[in-house]
Amino acid sequence: AALSATLAGPQRYDVQSYNFLEHLALQWLKQLLGLPSALDGVFSSGGSVANLIGLGAARQWACEQRGIDASLQGLESVTKPRLYASKEIHHVILRAAGVLGLGRRALITLPTDDGFRMDVDALRTQLRRDKADGCTPIAVAASAGTVNTGAVDPLSEILEVCREEDVWLHVDGAYGGFGLLDPAVAHLYEGFAAADSIAVDPHKWLAVPLGCGAAFVRDRGLSARAFALEPAKYLEGSLCGAETIRSQFDDVGYPFYETTVEHSARSRGVTVWAALKEMGAEGFRTRIIRHNAYARHLAERVQASPDLELLAPVTLSICCFRYVPAELRGQAGS
């Protein structure tokens, strides 16, 4: 039992090999996605929490820019916080706005183009108007693959607006982030790696067991300030009188609990490590290319059929269509 606890204990404890594998899996994920190795990563229960962590870091950053430590002081003195996303954004972003105390109404939903991608001109106009109106932009949340149609927002153009307006760019790539492995669509992800925070879900396209998301944040200090745990008497590193309690394990392992909303957690990253070790980057690339090709093939079949109608362009592995018999075509409501 002692041996298995040492080998396979939860990621929370620094001295176990699974803590190391968790770290290695995060490094491999960054390599797979072409992200800078300096990004700080942490695993989560899924995309909901990964998005919450990214937006929590954004909230901390935007408020610190204005001299406010949001984690400590709350949002009392933050005027009209705003989040920006397209109307196609996943609804967990709305919940994150609620949980982070911004309020669900802080989410400004922007229109999209014919391909269900964020209208960047609308974003620019709205941001400028809101800033002039005294609002506090917290982040733009872009989609790298919406769950509705698989649309990838114009990330490089959004990044440009974010840099111009000095606003944090968060990218929700929970479903579609891994789509960039397909060379046929990789160009759509230009700007992805330069985002300030990114959420991905290995439990979707990487096919690991459910309960595994990951968040990447450009500045570990920010997520640590947003989510840090105060010292606790029972933990090493805490103060005991004027003395810090020390142990020989203090500098061993990675304290993942400092940059997320969880304290104890199982070693989710080990499944990612194992999947990547077994399949390799090329294995996943092949799989993702195949899935995207299935969706394009389906779209061709739909377009060739007199009774079916394609409802959205196919970008990734999603193909939206409906059944419209020829005699009902063009009628009101069809």
Ligand X SMILES: *Cc1c(COP(=O)(O)O)cnc(C)c1O
Does 213 help bind ligand X (rule: CB under 6 A)? yes
Cβ proximity to ligand X, 78 vs 94, nearer residue:
94
CB of 265 to ligand X, least distance (A): 15
Does 90 help bind ligand X (rule: CB under 6 A)? yes
The strand pairing partners of 157, in sequence order, are none
- Quick one: which of 16, 168, 201, 222 contacts ligand X (CB under 6 A)? 201
- Quick one: which of 13, 43, 116, 175 contacts ligand X (CB under 6 A)? 175
Does 41 help bind ligand X (rule: CB under 6 A)? no
Stretch that binds ligand X, among 134-142, 168-176, 215-223, 286-294 (CB under 6 A): 168-176
Give the burial string for 44-67 (b: 16+ CB within 10 Å, else e): bbbbbbbbbbbbbbbbbbbbbeee
Stretch that binds ligand X, among 30-38, 41-49, 122-130, 161-169 (CB under 6 A): 41-49
Count interface residues toward ligand X (CB under 6 A): 12
Cβ proximity to ligand X, 51 vs 223, nearer residue:
51
Taking CB under 6 A as the criterion, which residues in 133-152 touch ligand X? 147
Does 172 help bind ligand X (rule: CB under 6 A)? yes
CB of 308 to ligand X, least distance (A): 25
What does each C-alpha distance from 87 to 14, 185, 319 come to in angstroms?
41, 22, 19
Cβ proximity to ligand X, 75 vs 92, nearer residue:
92
- Quick one: which of 32, 92, 200, 314 contacts ligand X (CB under 6 A)? 92
Region label for 211, one of left (φ > 0), alpha (ψ between -120 and 50) or beta (otherwise): left
Nearest Cα to Cα of residue 284 among 210, 209, 203, 207: 207
Question: In the numeric block, which tokens belong to residue 280?
Answer: 């390799």
Does 62 help bind ligand X (rule: CB under 6 A)? no
The strand pairing partners of 152, in sequence order, are 144
Stretch that binds ligand X, among 169-177, 217-225, 246-254, 271-279 (CB under 6 A): 169-177
Cβ neighbors of 45 (< 8 A, separation 6 or more) are 211, 212, 213, 262, 268
Does 43 help bind ligand X (rule: CB under 6 A)? no
Q: What is the DSSP annotation of 47-108?
A: HHHHHHHHHHHHHHHHHHHTT--HHHHTTTT--SEEEEEETTS-THHHHHHHHTTS-GGGEE
**What angle separates helix 155-165 from helix 120-132, to the nearest 10 degrees?**
20
Residue nearest to ligand X (CB): 47
Which residues make up the interface to ligand X (CB under 6 A)? Answer: 46-48, 51, 90, 92, 147, 172, 174-175, 201, 213
